[in-house]
Amino acid sequence: MIFVARAIALVVTVVMVTYMLRHFAFALNRLFRHQRMNYTDLAGFHLPSVSILIPMHNEEDVAPDVLEALLEADYPHDPERFEIIPINDHSTDRTGEILDAYALHNPLIKPLHRQNGERGKSPTLREATKIARGEVLVIFDADYVPGRAMLKFLAAPFADPEVGAVMGRVVPHNVGSSLLTRLMDLERAGGYQINQQARYNLNLLPQYGGTAGGVRRVALEAAGEWDSSSLTEDTELTVRLAILGWKVAYINRAECYEEVPENWDVRRKQIERWAIGHTECFHRYLGKMLRSPCLSWKAKVDGVLLLGVYLTAPLIVLGLLACVVLFFGGQTYLPALTAFFIASTAYNCLGNFASFFEIGTSVVLDGGQQRVRLLSLNIANSIFSTATVTLALAKYYGRRFFGRPLPPWSKTKRFRNGNGNGNGNGNGSGTSDPTSRERGLKFILARNTLRKSVTS
């Protein structure tokens, strides 16, 4: 028992230190190293034809916001190069009516209504892709509000024929709703401003996030289209593109404003879906990724750490249990080992696998120094995420052992409820302005006017 506990403690410590050094390298890269060209100088010059796909299931409260934002987008509204395809996926509310009303007044909006077949984001995207005409497919979740210049920023990298997908930055717009939304604002800042940008700078594996991003049609076809069996189609597509040699570009200035969960139960369900889907990708593609001739050894190492990130949660729990066993086993080297383990674990996990240093650095770069006061509270997010991921993976491996299928895809609950709080200002400048509400007010006015016309 003591030998097993020693081995577990050693393995966990090595894994945690590896992630710790990774986060350190990313933060230092963003602070002091050269920032890689992100194609923003080409914004407005390279304008491929785009099809914007927006999966929607019971989204009557948020659908007008994203449609209004896209209609205001600074992109040529040429029917041959620009189309918006909102997909009504088995909705039972008035989502379909709202989409049809918008389409009636604007021919650029071409709704797709799905009442048959499998429900979920991947099946929805697969069906919409068949009717889309653009050479670039841009994806938004229904609760996202893109900045006015975002489409130009996303389109620019596709001037490089090696780029298969592009990812923008996601900024929460309902930050002031609860403590959780404030903590998630910090988490998003660390994940995008530091983690994504640094991976892009270092030629590693920046991740296509499944929304607020675009994918080249020919790259998607080469990778095998959308996988309807995946809970995290974004991670899966990222890995499949990388295996084939396609690049994923990250554009920090391409901002999109999202609605993050406002209570812990909704956050728990979101984390569970991500953890299971992400870990399924780990098992499916680890071997293929390591054997790919298109990836450098650095990219492969980063890919392993990316796909295995959710496995660190049960490892942390195992490490703590191993320390307890060693303590009661009378091991004399326990204090030093425990101190090192706890230090590396805490450093790595503050803020749901985004390190304390990354979050702090992102706050400095974003210019919102007052947010740094919340850093100490991220331990709550860390403990909650570790427990949630551990339980989710226990269920996942139980299903694998007994040969049961993955749980069905589930949509994250919306909280906007028609009040439109916190829509971004859409200037695409690379920094958010949470005090701006002018655009949100315009959206609400348009939505109320539209609803009156639909019901009259």
Tokens of residue 317, six digits: 């729990």
Same domain, 258 and 369: no
Kindly state whether residues 222 and 366 are assigned to the same domain: no
pLDDT given for residue 437 in this prediction = 33
**What confidence score (pLDDT) does residue 323 get?**
77
Residue 256 and residue 389 in one domain: no
CA distance 215 to 55: 16
Residues 251, 332, single domain; the answer is: no
pLDDT along the chain (456 residues), means of 10: 82 83 89 83 86 95 93 93 95 93 93 90 92 96 93 94 95 90 90 93 92 95 87 91 96 92 92 92 95 95 93 87 77 60 54 61 82 79 88 93 80 66 35 36 46 47
> Of 366, 400, 434, which residue sits at a domain end?
400
Task: Kindly state whether residue 442 falls inside one of the protein's structural domains.
Answer: no
CATH number of the structural domain spanning residue 81:
3.90.550.10
Residue 315, domain extent: 2-31+311-400
Domain termination residue (choose one: 271, 306, 341):
306
Is 453 a domain residue? no
In whole angstroms, give the CA distance from residue 240 to residue 219: 10
- As to burial, measured by CB atoms within 10 angstroms (0-12 exposed, 13-18 middle, 19+ buried), residue 34 is exposed
With vertex at residue 369, the alpha carbon angle to CA 151 and CA 262, rounded to the nearest 5 degrees, is 65
Residues 288 and 203 placed together within one structural domain of the fold = yes
Q: What is the DSSP string of 97-157?
A: HHHHHHHHH-TTB--EEE-SS--SHHHHHHHHHHH---SEEEE--TT-EE-TTHHHHHHGG
Angle (CA) 289 290 293, round 5°: 80
End position of a domain, from candidates 259, 285, 306: 306
Is 343 within the bounds of a domain?
yes
Q: How many domains does the chain have?
A: 2
Question: Which pLDDT does position 106 carry in this prediction?
Answer: 92
- Tell me, yes or no, whether 409 lies in a domain: no
Q: Are residues 298 and 183 in the same domain?
A: yes
Rounded CA-CA distance 103/112 in Å is 11
Same domain for 241 and 369: no
Query: Does residue 60 share a domain with residue 95?
Result: yes
Beta bridge partner(s), residue 165: 215, 248
Is residue 45 domain-shared with residue 25, that is, in the same domain?
no
User: Given this model, what pLDDT does residue 419 score?
Assistant: 43
Same domain, 12 and 78: no
Q: 316 and 260, same structural domain?
A: no
Q: Is 450 inside a domain boundary?
A: no
Query: Is residue 431 one of the residues assigned to a domain?
Result: no
Instruction: Determine, yes or no, domain membership for 424.
Output: no
Q: Domain for residue 82, yes or no?
A: yes
Q: Are residues 67 and 196 in the same domain?
A: yes
With 0-12 / 13-18 / 19 or more C-beta atoms within 10 angstroms meaning exposed / middle / buried, residue 245 is middle
CB count within 10 Å of CB 176 equals 13
Separation of alpha carbons 202 and 35, rounded Å: 9
